[in-house]
């Protein structure tokens, strides 16, 4: 599964919504009230997930989130490698290797991994982003030893022949044809990413460029696997009806004997291009609904001068784009009826810089120029008139609630923790995120808006009907 930065936020929301365990709402609501009250009086609040962590001798970090409401468990392995770590000219390799991880090991036949999980009542999948690759199984807790054994096996013992590789490469090529070559939205996203990132590997699509994808070899995949797939470059997150001691014993049994990898560093071109006003206008005969978006290259947790900058950007994105309560939606959709949808998003979890997105879809009869002018008026109004304290506080409370209610889900904590640790964040930072958000003030948000929402350092992208059929 290809996982672009554009869908990270929705993925976490989906993970929170799925597999929510019963009788948890009251507990989460109490935790939320405790967090908010603690932030207001300046005392230390309880941790969001109350997770425990330890590291095996071979370097594998293990995180355990205990949740004893049902006898189920989510088992996730996160590798600190993604599409941005591919060798030059080998785009699509990380995602293709994700596919090959289901094609057998020295002891398992192709497809046997998935068949065993399904036969034991489990659900499993995997996904690749620019910065990480993850594999998960949701299953009854008494089957945890089975999935640990299976996942540990393919961490170091992957095996596939030339025929299997070529077959799966064709599958991924068809995936690109179906999801990119035939999807105008995806094509625009690729072109906007190229313009935004210029020489940084985030410019490359996770599924790969067609010519490079078609040229990938079995040896390319094996070399990439041997370099990056190792316990000392991975994080194991277990969420569910387990204890730390149980997980420690199982992890030692199944993962403890695996050898370390060669030791790797992420070497990327991090030099940002000079500021430029860039516009990408694309017409396509299959487009019936015009789309408009603007992307800003902004700091992430790893590139921001201070953590407060990323927190302020998170609050800013919710003020502008927090669903139907966001300024963009209220002004463009509800009040002025110029758009059918409008919003903004930001994700601070990236190895290198992040992206702040603003988007809108006009109503029929509304021109691009009229829509863009309206969006600019909302943003400029915020920059000119500022924010009220009440507006900032309301948004912060909603954001804190979202983080804490994630505790009630089985897989939500594993997603949130795995993403964060995979890009270099700390467990402590994840656990105290509501308190950190509580410390963001109106002035912090305004500073972030005035610093980073600069049109001379953004890419505006427009997708409209037309073009050759």
Judging by DSSP bridges, how do beta strands 234-240 and 339-346 pair with one another? unpaired
Count Cβ atoms within 10 A of the Cβ of residue 276 and give its class: 0-12 exposed, 13-18 middle, 19 or more buried.
exposed
Distance between CA 358 and CA 321 in Å, rounded?
Answer: 8
Sheet with 133-140, strands from edge to edge, namely: 52-55, 61-66, 234-240, 72-79, 133-140, 123-128
- Residue 407 DSSP one-character state: G
Q: What's the distance, CA 304 to chain centroid?
A: 18
Token representation of residue 435 = 């308190």
Give the 3-state secondary structure of residue 295.
Answer: strand
Instruction: Give which of 273, 314, 294, 289 is closest to 402, Cα–Cα.
Output: 314
> Up-side HSE of residue 230: CA atoms within 13 Å toward CB?
17
- The SS3 of residue 123 is strand
Task: Supply 258's token pair.
Answer: 């695996």
- CA nearest neighbour of 358 among 294, 297, 315, 314: 294
Spatial contact of 24 and 69, defined as CB atoms under 8 Å apart: yes
Cβ proximity of 47 and 404 under 8 Å: no
98 is catalytic: yes
Distance CA 332, CA 378 (A): 9
Question: SS3 of 403, please?
Answer: helix
CA distance 412 to 18: 8
Q: Which of 347, 144, 107, 320 minimizes the C-alpha distance to 237?
A: 144
CA distance 224 to 276: 35
Pairing relationship of beta strands 276-284 and 457-465 according to DSSP bridges? parallel
Of 86, 98, 124, 190, which is the active-site residue? Answer: 98
Active site positions, annotated: 98
């Amino acid at each position: 599964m290809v996982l672009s930065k554009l869908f990270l936020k929705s993925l976490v929301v989906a993970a929170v919504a799925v597999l929510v365990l019963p009788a948890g709402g009251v507990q989460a609501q109490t935790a939320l009230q405790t967090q908010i009250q603690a932030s207001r009086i300046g005392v230390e609040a309880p941790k969001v997930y109350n997770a425990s962590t330890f590291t095996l001798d071979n370097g594998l970090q293990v995180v355990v989130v205990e949740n004893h409401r049902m006898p189920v468990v989510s088992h996730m392995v996160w590798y600190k490698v993604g599409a941005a770590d591919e060798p030059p000219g080998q785009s699509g390799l990380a995602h293709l290797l994700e596919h090959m991880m289901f094609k057998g090991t020295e002891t398992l036949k192709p497809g046997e991994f998935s068949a065993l999980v399904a036969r034991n009542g489990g659900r499993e999948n995997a996904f690749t982003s620019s910065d990480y690759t993850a594999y998960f199984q949701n299953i009854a807790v008494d089957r945890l030893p089975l999935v640990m054994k299976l996942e540990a096996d393919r961490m170091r013992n992957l095996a596939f022949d030339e025929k299997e590789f070529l077959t799966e490469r064709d599958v991924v090529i068809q995936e690109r044809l179906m999801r990119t070559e035939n999807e105008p939205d995806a094509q625009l996203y690729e072109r906007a990413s190229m313009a935004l990132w210029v020489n940084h590997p985030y410019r490359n699509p996770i599924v790969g460029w067609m010519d490079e994808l078609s040229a990938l070899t079995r040896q390319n995949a094996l070399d990439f696997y041997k370099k990056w797939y190792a316990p000392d470059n991975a994080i194991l997150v277990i969420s569910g009806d387990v204890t730390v001691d149980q997980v420690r014993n199982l992890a030692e049994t199944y993962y403890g004997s695996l050898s370390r990898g060669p030791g790797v560093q992420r070497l990327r071109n991090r030099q940002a291009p000079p500021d430029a006003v860039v516009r990408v206008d694309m017409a396509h005969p299959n487009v019936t609904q015009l789309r408009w978006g603007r992307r800003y290259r902004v700091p992430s947790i790893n590139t921001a001068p201070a953590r407060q900058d990323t927190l302020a950007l998170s609050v800013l994105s919710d003020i502008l784009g927090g669903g139907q309560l966001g300024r963009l939606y209220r002004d463009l959709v509800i009040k002025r009826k110029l758009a059918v949808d409008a919003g903004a998003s930001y994700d601070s979890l990236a190895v290198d810089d992040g992206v702040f997105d603003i988007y809108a879809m006009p109503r029929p009869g509304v021109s691009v120029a009229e829509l863009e002018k309206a969006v600019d008026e909302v943003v400029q109004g915020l920059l000119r008139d500022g924010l009220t304290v009440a507006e900032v506080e309301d948004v912060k409370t909603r954001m804190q609630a979202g983080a804490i209610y994630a505790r009630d889900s089985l897989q939500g904590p594993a997603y949130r923790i795995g993403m964060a640790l995979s890009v270099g964040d700390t467990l402590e930072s994840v656990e105290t995120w509501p308190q950190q958000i509580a410390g963001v003030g109106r002035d912090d948000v305004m500073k972030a808006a005035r610093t980073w929402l600069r049109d001379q350092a953004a890419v505006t992208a427009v997708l409209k009907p037309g073009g050759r059929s």
